[in-house]
């Protein structure tokens, strides 16, 4: 399956009124896209559009990378805001939605969710996918029917996907899966590896691996997942130290932290990303940084679930690259994720300016794409994928800002609602705020979510 829409059949030129080039904002940039969907040339000093160029007014930045998504969690928005509770009570609501998913209903929901992402300027999503089988654990006729539904949904919504197929084998340290989790489990890591090996990459889709958590994959099977990722040169993601309860259980079972356990079994490394990395020891931070294991922060979910604030500054200083994800989709807005990472640190430290706007945009673009196995995305430069998004500089949130401070405007003032255009592989997926492939995204979301509640 290829990305939907019209292919670029000839060189095409976009004129960017303002462009963020990684270190600064440049006015008047002509960007040429080749027929293979890559950037062929970037020419600065173009004060007016060249003849035949498509004009993108506002601030154009590389397409955003949503490095951590659970698409079906979008159905929980608002429902889980009633009353109080913890991560563990929230999880009970999540299980109920998961039980109602089928390949068809998951395709419909994910297509709408990925379309919402495109409207928010996201061109690539890392889908942390663990709902593999039918309720009760029986395999579908195609054992990868659910994963294929997500890959097809991304194509239908016009964005790229890295399907992070997730090993999820246990309810806890030494505990078998509970009834809700049976459809997540392949039984063993070897069986997981056999199933995921049948998934094939395609133009818009990469296949990666994930360890749900140290509580969900027995220690003696962690290396099997890591070995599969190594053999396939695939990205490997893992929920890490999101909850103190998990840390305590890991210490009781293994006498070490989750990070230390992963290190002992060869999981850490430059292709690995720990998601959340919230409750870490000094030794954990040194291990993650020393192995250049990445960190994906999901601030809107971490605050929504009252998880805590992770040590992102110290992790990056130690050598852990930062990326961003919307995770449970309490909101889908990578500008808000970037902003929240900085503002959370300000609240904790009572000092300002831990990251520049350029650094935060890099986490949301180039470093996020790299975490998803696409080091050739996230930059407006020749040879990179022609994936970019344009943010309005004349909305009620962004009007009046100095254009050369466009990065600061995007990170600290703009929202997903300010995205005007999204281009993937040189093709318009969002034009003037409207999705070109999913005409009515709100209705698509509403009907897909309603089907899961019936």
From the candidates 129, 204, 237, 276, give the one annotated as an active-site residue: 276
Cβ(301)–Cβ(251) below 8 Å: no
Kindly report the length of the chain. Answer: 454
**Helices (runs of H) and strands (runs of E) counted in the chain:** 15, 16
From the candidates 186, 307, 327, 387, give the one annotated as an active-site residue: 327
- Which DSSP state fits 182? G
Exposed e or buried b per residue across 36-51, where buried means at least 16 C-beta atoms within 10 angstroms of its C-beta:
ebbbbebeeebeebee
**Whole-angstrom distance, CA of residue 229 vs CA of residue 385:** 24
Cβ(359)–Cβ(412) below 8 Å: no
**Whole-angstrom distance, CA of residue 151 vs CA of residue 205:** 7
**Whole-angstrom distance, CA of residue 364 vs CA of residue 233:** 23
276 counts as catalytic: yes
Residue in the structure block whose two tokens are 């430290």: 349
User: For the purposes of burial, counting CB atoms within 10 Å of the CB of 308, is it exposed (0-12), middle (13-18) or buried (19 or more)?
Assistant: middle
State how far the alpha carbon of 175 is from the alpha carbons of 37, 88, 89, 109, 345, in Å: 48, 17, 19, 31, 36
327 counts as catalytic: yes
**Whole-angstrom distance, CA of residue 416 vs CA of residue 392:** 10
Cβ(294)–Cβ(272) below 8 Å: yes
Contacts of 220 (CB under 8 A, 6+ apart): none
Reading the block at residue 102, the tokens are: 């089928």
Question: What is the enclosing helix (H) or strand (E) of 239?
Answer: strand 236-240
Q: Mutual orientation of helices 103-119 and 441-453 as an angle, nearest 10°?
A: 150
For residue 306, which phi and psi values (nearest 5 degrees)? 60, 40
Active site residues: 276, 327
């Amino acid at each position: 399956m290829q990305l939907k829409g019209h292919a670029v059949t000839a060189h095409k030129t976009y004129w960017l009124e303002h462009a963020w080039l990684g270190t600064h904002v440049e006015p008047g940039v002509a960007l040429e896209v080749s027929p293979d969907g890559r950037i062929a040339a970037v020419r600065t000093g173009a004060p007016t559009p060249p003849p035949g160029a498509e004009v993108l007014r506002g601030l154009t930045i590389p397409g955003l990378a949503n490095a951590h998504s659970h698409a079906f969690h979008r159905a929980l928005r608002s429902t889980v805001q009633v009353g109080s509770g913890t991560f563990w009570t929230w999880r009970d609501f999540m299980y109920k939605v998961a039980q109602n998913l089928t390949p068809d209903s998951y395709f419909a929901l994910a297509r709408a969710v990925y379309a919402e992402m495109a409207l928010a300027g996201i061109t690539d999503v890392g889908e942390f996918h663990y709902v593999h089988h039918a309720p009760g654990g029986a395999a579908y006729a195609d054992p990868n029917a659910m994963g294929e539904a997500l890959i097809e949904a991304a194509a239908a919504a016009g964005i790229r996907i890295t399907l992070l197929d997730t090993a999820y084998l246990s309810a806890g340290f030494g505990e078998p899966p509970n009834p809700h989790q049976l459809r997540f489990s392949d039984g063993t890591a070897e069986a997981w590896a056999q199933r995921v090996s049948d998934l094939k990459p395609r133009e818009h889709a990469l296949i990666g691996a994930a360890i749900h958590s140290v509580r969900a994959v027995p220690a003696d099977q962690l290396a099997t997942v890591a070995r599969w990722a190594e053999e396939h040169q695939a990205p490997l993601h893992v929920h890490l130290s999101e909850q103190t309860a998990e840390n305590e259980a890991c210490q009781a079972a293994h006498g070490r932290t989750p990070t230390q356990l992963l290190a002992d079994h060869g999981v850490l490394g430059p292709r690995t990303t720990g998601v959340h990395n919230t409750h870490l020891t000094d030794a954990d931070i040194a291990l993650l940084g020393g192995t250049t294991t990445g960190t994906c922060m999901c601030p809107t979910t971490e605050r929504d679930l009252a998880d805590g604030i992770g040590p992102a500054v110290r992790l990056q200083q130690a050598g852990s690259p930062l990326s961003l994800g919307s995770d449970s989709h309490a909101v889908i807005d990578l500008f808000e994720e970037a902003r929240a990472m900085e503002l959370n640190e300000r609240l904790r430290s009572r000092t300002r300016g831990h990251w520049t706007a350029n650094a935060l945009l890099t986490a949301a673009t180039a470093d996020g794409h790299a975490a998803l196995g696409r080091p050739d995305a996230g930059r407006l430069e020749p040879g990179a994928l022609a994936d970019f998004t344009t943010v309005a500089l004349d909305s009620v949130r962004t009007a009046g800002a100095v254009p050369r401070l466009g990065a600061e405007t995007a990170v600290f003032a703009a929202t997903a609602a300010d995205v005007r255009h999204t281009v993937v592989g040189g093709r318009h997926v969002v034009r003037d705020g409207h999705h070109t492939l999913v005409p009515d995204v709100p209705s698509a979301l509403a009907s897909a979510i309603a089907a899961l509640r019936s």
